[in-house]
Amino acid sequence: EADIYQTPRYLVIGTGKKITLECSQTMGHDKMYWYQQDPGMELHLIHYSYGVNSTEKGDLSSESTVSRIRTEHFPLTLESARPSHTSQYLCASSWTSGYNEQFFGPGTRLTVL
């Protein structure tokens, strides 16, 4: 069973606030990912990392930023939250070799008022 954690699970915040969504995994996976999921269910990759100090932008442009200082930790930060950032954010991780399945965290549901 995968061990990947996200906090908080739910966050309601006002416009202009800075927020950080936490994601940690205990499986030693090199690869980590952030997805944004809109109400229509579609998943959009917004950031990924192949290891410490490696971060790349995904398919969907996002105003958020990420960092990967430790293998197990991949936080996502929004410097100034806006209502358009309201969404479900899912973190995932996987092994490096081959096309291995990604294991997902429970998600953070963000609402910006």
Partner 1 sequence: AQKVTQAQTEISVVEKEDVTLDCVYETRDTTYYLFWYKQPPSGELVFLIRRNSFDEQNEISGRYSWNFQKSTSSFNFTITASQVVDSAVYFCALSGTFQGGSEKLVFGKGTKLTVNP
61 binds partner 1 (CB under 8 A): no
What 3-state DSSP class applies to 21?
A: strand
Q: What is the dihedral of CA 66, 1, 9, 83, to 10 degrees?
A: 50
From residue 35 to residue 54, what is the string marking binding to partner 1 with x (rule CB under 8 A)? -----xxxx-x--x-x----
Minimum CB separation from partner 1 for residue 41, in Å? 4
Half-sphere exposure of 105 (CA within 13 A, CB side): 31
Nearer to partner 1 (CB atom), residue 1 or residue 69: 1
Q: Which residues bind partner 1 (CB under 8 A)?
A: 2, 40-43, 45, 48, 50, 56, 58-59, 88, 90, 92, 98-107, 109
